[in-house]
Structure 1
Amino acid sequence: MLQVQFIRQNKELVLERLAVKNFADAAAIVEEVLALDEQRKKLTLDYDETQAKVNSASKEIGKLMASGDKSGAESRKQEVATFKQALGPINEQLGATEKLLHDTLVRLPNLPGSTVPKGRTPEENVEIRRGGVIPTLAEGAVPHWDLAKQYDLIDFELGNKITGSGFPVYKNKGARLQRALISYFLDFNTAAGYNEMLTPFMVNETSAYGTGQLPDKEGQMYYMPEDNFYLIPTSEVPVTNIYRDEILKENELPVKLTAYSPCFRREAGSYGKDVRGLNRLHQFEKVELVQLVHPDKSYAVLDEMVAHVEKLIQSLGLPYRILNLCGGDMGFAAAQTFDFEVWSAAQQKWLEVSSVSNFETFQTNRMKVRYKDENGKNVLVHSLNGSSLACPRIMATLLENNQTPEGILLPEVLHKYFGTDRIA
């Protein structure tokens, strides 16, 4: 959530940066925020002045009574009663104004950073670099959904029977490969200094609001109204909320966490050939990175996290590219995002497998995650997160890109986790 004071002091900058994000209602909402803030300040002043009159008159009553002026004291008591009666409506109006200000403020997305390219669509994202070798598959190579059936790895029809489309059942060596990927990703992250967590897979409304899923992505989350819980779209949500309403010591930064979780997404409106197989699911497994850092260091940390995910993909031997997302393709809460895509040789297209983002203070302002600086002042930390990695499309490309007449050859880093060097 943006801060009102920052908007007031940097109105033109805010409008210019929101234009990069192609946020159509920016000017109107900014003006509404500023007007409501003025109203809030006026009501606060009215309340404080009226309360001061109450306090002053109350003191005078005591003095008048002590001097024997009962008539004067009674007159002041009537004034105090009138002032107190006026406080109620002022306070009620102040509360309503503060709520409306908050509800209006949360409609504004985060400001994109200075190096975010302009653009409206994914086609306008800027490729930073690519790596790995795009394989040339033998004649007769097939996509992963055919390989899954051939080697009895994944049953999409069974998942549809049990739950519905987008909920696959991993079987036999497919289930083992899924477990191998999760274990390897977690070990890779903990070796780099991330502390492993296992958090709930459901969160309350406050947690979903804290990381920016609410109110922006309410329609994309699975909701349980009886308990007012949400199934998590990513472990970023519960992990980041560990530090909600906490004040850290400066020497405790950075906080580096990694977590595995299933992820649940309604993916409303998704259909067609691009959602076939593992390309887009309602439930999938992912390992996440989260960092809480000193605000002066967050963009250096963003670069470090990008490099970390890049090394992980390189270790799997997959061809990849890194994209700097344009303003129109970024998430609501992000200040800057780099996407990783791997090349699917059988489908002949790039598949997104990770997003690494800096949220600056957008999430931590909502969650009140702060540190105490050397002057004793409470300062908002910056939050970052990234996928390291999402399993479905990694599995899809590993199966497709490594298919041979002798079976599906697995990268060396997975051999000890999977138990052998291939699926045959």
Structure 2
Amino acid sequence: MLDPNQLRKDLPSVVKALAIRGVSFDTERFSQLEARRKSLQVETETLQARRNAVSKLIGQLKSRGEDASKEMAESQDIPARLKELELDLAAVQGELNDWLMTLPNLPHASVPAGASSDDNVEVRRWLPAHVQADAHGDPRPFAFEAKDHVSLGEPIGLDFETARKLSGARFMMLRGPIARLHRALAQFMLDLQTTEHGYQECYTPYIVNSSTLFGTGQLPKFKDDMFWVTKGGQDDEPGRDEQGNLVASEDLYLISTSEITLAGSVRDTIVAQQDLPLKLTAHTPCFRSEAGSGGRDTRGMIRQHQFDKVEMVQIVHPETSYDTLEEMVGHAEAVLQRLGVPYRVVLLCGGDMGFGATKTYDLEVWLPAQNTWREISSVSNCEAFQARRMQARYRADKGKPEYLHTLNGSGLAVGRALVAVLENYQQEDGSVVVPEALRPYMGGVAALSA
């Protein structure tokens, strides 16, 4: 959520920053709500002061044996008016907060202007030593016609037909060699992030409540992009909290990324400064109902309703978050370099960034069959955007708690990494060489073929 204090103190800069993201901010609406809030707050504080003064005056009058009936009558009217003001102020504040919840984060000053992926800026690219570049810096085509990952995968166990029978479109089933390769990729990624990059491995819930999703920014804006598991208040009975108090049930959702659970783990928490940074990783399935939007990527594994991902999350001191962003990009790059597949790093423009991000780098892998670069990881700094929604703070030895900064990134999307390996390691006979980094996880198998 945007910082309300920043809106009050420097509204023009907020409006300008949101415009870079293609968002038009209704300044008149904000000014009206803010004026109403201030008016109610001033009236409340004035009436509270009057209540205290009248109470004191009543005591003085009674001590002198004087008539205090007029003052007592006034004091009896004040609580009702204070209650009215409290309700009115809560309504205005609620309307303001609900609106702010729908607004994206402000872009960092280094984020380029632009409306779409066409305006993103390439930062660097990396090609393995055995891959030669063409005149444009892209990998040279194979000496034979490249097959896509579907044609390569089906002979070794990629099965869309059974998945379609079980669940419908945008699902896959893996059998035998390709299932093992998929598992090997996830294990390799987890081992790299935990043993070399210092992340703590986590196993998290795949189902979360709506409070968690509000905290990390998926709700309310992206509600229709998620899969609901249950509707709170329909089939669910109210539960009890840790103190045994009855609490209303909440909607439950399948996670679209384990960023939700890893970042959400510090909701309503004050972290000691000496415990920072928190570096967390998890391998989970991810569920996204928007996978088929726009009719794009209808063939294959690129856009699925269910896919696996190894996620990286860091929760850090605000002063270190941009250094951490660069570090996390390197952690994602290390996976692709060990796998030996060509990739490039792209800085996203304001119009192409995710909702909660202030700055995002995408890693795009080369897919020979498509003769193009495709996203395989996004790494973002959210600054205090999520922390403010989650009330996630840190405390130094002295001083009041301050909001943390949260960062997230794919390390990597397992299915897309599988696509990249199949297409970049294909041979003319249709077999697929197993990258050296994965062979220990494959029992030493060097190639896959029908």
Indicate the residue corresponding to 1:304 in structure 2: 327
CA distance in 1, matches of 2:28, 2:296: 43
Indicate the residue corresponding to 2:68 in structure 1: 73
Which of 166, 171, 186 pairs up with 1:167?
171
Indicate whether 1:421 and 2:416 are aligned. Answer: no
Which of 234, 240, 243 pairs up with 2:257?
234
SS in 2 for 1:243: coil
Indicate whether 1:33 and 2:44 are aligned. Answer: no
Indicate whether 1:344 and 2:339 are aligned. Answer: no
SS in 1 for 2:58: helix
Which of 199, 213, 217 pairs up with 1:212?
217
With 220-229 and 257-266 compared, the bigger mean Cα shift is at: 220-229
Aligned length: 418
CA displacement at 1:124 relative to structure 2: 1.1
CA distance in 2, matches of 1:271, 1:378: 44
Whether the aligned pair in 2 keeps the contact of 1:47 and 1:87 (CA below 8 Å) is yes
Indicate the residue corresponding to 1:155 in structure 2: 159
> Scaled by the length of structure 2, what TM-score is found?
0.89
CA distance in 1, matches of 2:365, 2:326: 19
Indicate the residue corresponding to 2:246 in structure 1: none
Indicate the residue corresponding to 2:6 in structure 1: 6
CA displacement at 1:135 relative to structure 2: 5.8
Indicate the residue corresponding to 2:17 in structure 1: 17
CA displacement at 1:385 relative to structure 2: 0.4
Indicate whether 1:198 and 2:221 are aligned. Answer: no
Indicate the residue corresponding to 2:93 in structure 1: 98
Indicate the residue corresponding to 2:193 in structure 1: 189
1:216-295 correspondence runs (5 A) = 216-227=221-232, 228-267=251-290, 270-272=293-295, 274-295=297-318
Whether the aligned pair in 2 keeps the contact of 1:197 and 1:259 (CA below 8 Å) is yes
CA distance in 2, matches of 1:119, 1:111: 14
CA displacement at 1:85 relative to structure 2: 2.3
SS in 2 for 1:360: coil
CA displacement at 1:81 relative to structure 2: 1.4
The one-letter code of the counterpart of 1:144 is: H
Whether the aligned pair in 2 keeps the contact of 1:341 and 1:352 (CA below 8 Å) is yes
CA displacement at 1:351 relative to structure 2: 1.6
Which of 100, 115, 126 pairs up with 2:110?
115
Deviations 1:359-398 (A, max 9, x none): 0111111111111135412111111000000011111121
Indicate the residue corresponding to 2:392 in structure 1: 369
CA displacement at 1:319 relative to structure 2: 0.6
CA displacement at 1:175 relative to structure 2: 1.4
Whether the aligned pair in 2 keeps the contact of 1:264 and 1:282 (CA below 8 Å) is yes
Divergent runs of 4+, >3 A: 62-69
1:31–1:256 distance in 2 versus 1, CA, 3 Å: farther
CA distance in 2, matches of 1:400, 1:263: 23
SS in 2 for 1:274: coil
Identity of aligned residues (%): 42
CA distance in 2, matches of 1:237, 1:407: 38
CA displacement at 1:98 relative to structure 2: 0.8
Whether the aligned pair in 2 keeps the contact of 1:32 and 1:104 (CA below 8 Å) is no
Deviations 1:54-94 (A, max 9, x none): 2322233334334433xx23222211112222112211111
The one-letter code of the counterpart of 1:360 is: E
Runs (5+) with no aligned partner, structure 1: none
Whether the aligned pair in 2 keeps the contact of 1:135 and 1:401 (CA below 8 Å) is no
CA distance in 2, matches of 1:166, 1:216: 23
CA distance in 1, matches of 2:37, 2:9: 17
Deviations 1:116-172 (A, max 9, x none): 111111111111111113364343542111122222x21111111101111111111
CA distance in 2, matches of 1:226, 1:106: 21
CA displacement at 1:273 relative to structure 2: 5.7
Indicate the residue corresponding to 2:238 in structure 1: none
Indicate the residue corresponding to 1:55 in structure 2: 52
> Scaled by the length of structure 1, what TM-score is found?
0.95
CA displacement at 1:268 relative to structure 2: 5.9
| RMSD (CA atoms) | 1.6
Indicate the residue corresponding to 2:406 in structure 1: 383
CA distance in 1, matches of 2:145, 2:48: 82
Whether the aligned pair in 2 keeps the contact of 1:181 and 1:414 (CA below 8 Å) is yes
CA distance in 2, matches of 1:275, 1:319: 24
CA displacement at 1:272 relative to structure 2: 3.8
Indicate the residue corresponding to 2:237 in structure 1: none
Whether the aligned pair in 2 keeps the contact of 1:410 and 1:422 (CA below 8 Å) is yes
The one-letter code of the counterpart of 1:6 is: Q
CA displacement at 1:187 relative to structure 2: 0.5
Deviations 1:293-337 (A, max 9, x none): 111111111111111111111110111011100111111111000
CA distance in 2, matches of 1:271, 1:89: 49
Which of 43, 48, 53 pairs up with 2:40?
43
CA distance in 1, matches of 2:31, 2:199: 41
With 281-290 and 393-402 compared, the bigger mean Cα shift is at: 393-402
CA distance in 2, matches of 1:396, 1:406: 14
